[in-house]
Amino acid sequence: MNPLRRTLIAALAFAIARPLAALAAWNKEAFSAKTPGDALKGLGIGNATPSKDLQIEAPEIAENGAVVPIEIASAIAGTSALIVMIEKNPFPLTARFDFKEGALPFVKLNVKMGETSDVRVLAEAGGKYFTATKEIKVTIGGCGG
Amino acid sequence: MAAGPMKMRASLGAGFTDVRVLMTHPMETGLRKDADGKIVPQHFIQNLTVKMNGKTVIDAQISQAVSRNPVFSFRLKGGAKGDKIEVSWLDNHGESAAIEAAVA
């Protein structure tokens, strides 16, 4: 391949990759955090108030840690984001959902759990954070194997 | 296993549209070893976007701790038959996929 063509291809790849990267921000600092505290720091969350208006539907005991179904919903007015953290996983932060106008603060997903752990859910509403936890017991871990 | 096709169903619920989407993706954590004892490199979806009639309604960032072949359920306000729902993802290798369906 000649140098000009290589430069052109590199420039083109850069031009395509950049807007994608700009659109799709991924909070590397928070997702790389190894403790729930560091993950919160990475997300810029200081205090979170415990709330009964955050619902976590999940099995008490998950036989298979590779697929643990979790359903979360917020009844807190103005909820704009829901965050899922599995406190004892190697990297606790699991997901952050930002809900814009037109979406309800609800999500159901399957997650991997390495061991029995509290699952913490945080909601952002009007610049404030709310939180709830639920313990899920895991019989067979689903991270390595 | 490579990333592959998606499936989606959008249906009307009580005052909301229920969106259920399935993605084909290995979601490798980087902690798992293959049969030869070699670490399988990280390969996982990082970003998800849900659009309704062309407008972004949900932006999500996810980690390798989401299960293999991720399935998500979302709820969108209101909605009517024929509304267009689009879901797309982008992974840590820069691969992406999208699917579109009309509310049934």
- Its ipTM equals 0.95
Domain-located, residue A129: yes
What CATH architecture is B6-102? Sandwich (2.60)
Residue A22 — very low, low, confident or very high, per pLDDT cuts 50/70/90? very low
Q: Is the pLDDT of residue A10 over 90?
A: no
Is the distance from CB of A89 to CB of A105 less than 8 angstroms? no
Residues of B in Cβ contact (< 8 Å) with A99: 57-58
> Is some CB atom of chain A closer than 8 A to the CB atom of B77?
yes
Domain-located, residue A19: no
Residue in A99, A52, A108 with CA at minimum distance from that of residue B60: A99
- Reading chain B (104 residues) residue by residue, the pLDDT tens digits are 567 789 999 999 989 999 999 999 999 999 999 999 999 999 999 999 999 999 999 999 999 999 999 999 999 999 999 999 999 999 999 999 999 999 99
**Distance in angstroms (rounded) separating the CA atoms of residues A24 and B64:** 16
**Distance in angstroms (rounded) separating the CA atoms of residues A3 and A99:** 46
Tell if the pTM clears 0.90, that is, is over it: no
pLDDT in tens, A55-96: 999 999 998 999 999 999 999 999 999 999 999 999 999 999
Q: For residue A74, give the CATH number of its domain.
A: 2.60.40.2470
**Single-letter amino acid code for the residue at A127:** G
pLDDT on residue B8 = 97
Domain count, chain A: 1
Is the distance from CB of A102 to CB of A55 less than 8 angstroms? no
Is the distance from CB of B6 to CB of B97 less than 8 angstroms? yes
> Is some CB atom of chain B closer than 8 A to the CB atom of A111?
yes
**DSSP count for chain A of H helices, then E strands:** 3, 9
Domain-located, residue A13: no
pLDDT in tens, A25-46: 999 999 999 999 999 999 999 9
Domain enclosing residue A47, as ranges:
27-140
Domain-located, residue A2: no
Facing residue for A91 by CB, picked from B65, B77, B78 = B65
